Amino acid sequence: MSDFPYSLQPLRVPGGWTITVNTLFEVEPGPHTMQWFSSALLLWGHHRDSGDCFNSHFEPEDDPEGEFVLECYKVQYDRQGKAVKGSEVFLGEFRTRSKAEFVERVEQFMARPARG
């Protein structure tokens, strides 16, 4: 039994992806649910083989009129599997007030062909 009143948001995660942070619950943002959107990160994931990664948050924090923000990057890894400092390349940002649209965009980013 979960200690949370909401379940995690279902996501289609292709093979090779690691989701390191997941605090995205299956609840819509609103005046009575903002505590579920107040963490610094909602989702953070990476694909070591391709170097693709993303993070996301809700801003402004604690504002029911805020929006979901998805930031996408490409990172190089060394032979030990650690990210090479300074190798991060910003690929773009997506903002929306729609949680469904946000989830769809996260899934689309993870499903795109690897460009290693």
Question: What's the pLDDT tens digit per position in 72-84?
Answer: 999 988 888 788 8
How many whole angstroms separate alpha carbon 9 and alpha carbon 22?
9
Cβ–Cβ under 8 Å, residues 97 and 67: yes
Q: In the predicted model, is pLDDT for residue 105 greater than 80? A: yes
pTM of the model: 0.88
104-109: long-range contacts, CB 8 A cutoff, minimum separation 24:
105/70, 106/11, 106/43, 106/45, 106/54, 106/56, 106/70, 107/11, 107/12, 109/52, 109/54, 109/70, 109/72
CB 42 within 8 A of CB 27: no
Distances (CA, A) of 10 to 27, 36, 76, 78: 11, 16, 29, 32
pLDDT tens-digit map of 14-63: 999 999 999 999 999 988 888 888 777 999 999 988 999 999 999 998 88
| Cα gap 57→26, rounded to integer Å | 15
